[in-house]
């Protein structure tokens, strides 16, 4: 089977997570700047088969799109041009950053590690992907 990749898109960093080949669990892969995201995906997909890209959908508490949504829309347009065979799925990412911070705290991670934004972004992408996988199992 092929992997599923998830992205927690940000203006400074994008967290990336992937599944195992059987698509049973998610794990953090890397964090890259948004301008290097497409080259990263090209490199990764040249060695690993990826069929689906899950992109976090940031929403406000009132369900309206977050400010960054316009940048995500531009990124998705580029992805569709570069990877026409890739299925793109949006998944609600509300509170994933807070959940990532809480998970690091509860795991006993040192304060310096908990403050690294790239760790939080990678863990957020993992939470997005695991949430997507959990939802798929219910269907």
pLDDT tens profile 8-28:
999 999 999 999 999 999 999
Note the pLDDT tens digit of each residue in 78-94: 999 999 999 999 998 76
Note the pLDDT tens digit of each residue in 27-66: 999 999 999 999 999 999 999 999 999 999 988 888 888 8
Rg of the chain, C-alpha, whole Å: 14
pLDDT at 113 over 70: no
Q: For residue 72, give both structure tokens.
A: 């995500």
Cβ neighbours of 98 (radius 10 Å): 11
d(CA 129, CA 132): 5
Place of tokens 């269907």: 139
Amino acid 58: pLDDT: 86
> Residue ranges of the domains in the chain?
3-138
Q: DSSP for 83-125? A: -TTSEEEEEE-TTHHHHHHHHHHHTT--HHHHT-HHHHHHHHH
pLDDT at 104 over 60: no
d(CA 32, CA 66): 21
Amino acid 73: pLDDT: 95
pTM above 0.75, yes or no: yes
Q: Which CATH class for the 3-138 domain? A: alpha beta
Q: What is the mean pLDDT of residues 4-9?
A: 96
């Amino acid at each position: 089977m092929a992997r599923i990749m998830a992205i927690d898109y940000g203006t400074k960093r994008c967290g990336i997570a992937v599944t195992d080949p059987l698509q049973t669990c998610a794990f953090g892969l890397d964090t890259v700047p948004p301008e290097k995201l497409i080259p990263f995906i090209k490199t990764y997909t040249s060695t690993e088969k990826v069929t689906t890209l899950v992109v976090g959908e940031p929403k406000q508490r009132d369900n309206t799109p977050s400010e960054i949504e316009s940048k995500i829309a531009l990124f998705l347009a580029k992805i569709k041009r570069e990877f026409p065979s890739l299925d793109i799925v949006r998944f609600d990412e509300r509170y994933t950053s807070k959940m990532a911070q809480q998970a690091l705290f509860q795991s006993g991670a040192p304060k310096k590690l908990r403050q690294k934004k790239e760790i939080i972004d990678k863990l957020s992408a993992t939470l997005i992907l695991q949430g997507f996988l959990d939802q798929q199992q219910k269907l």
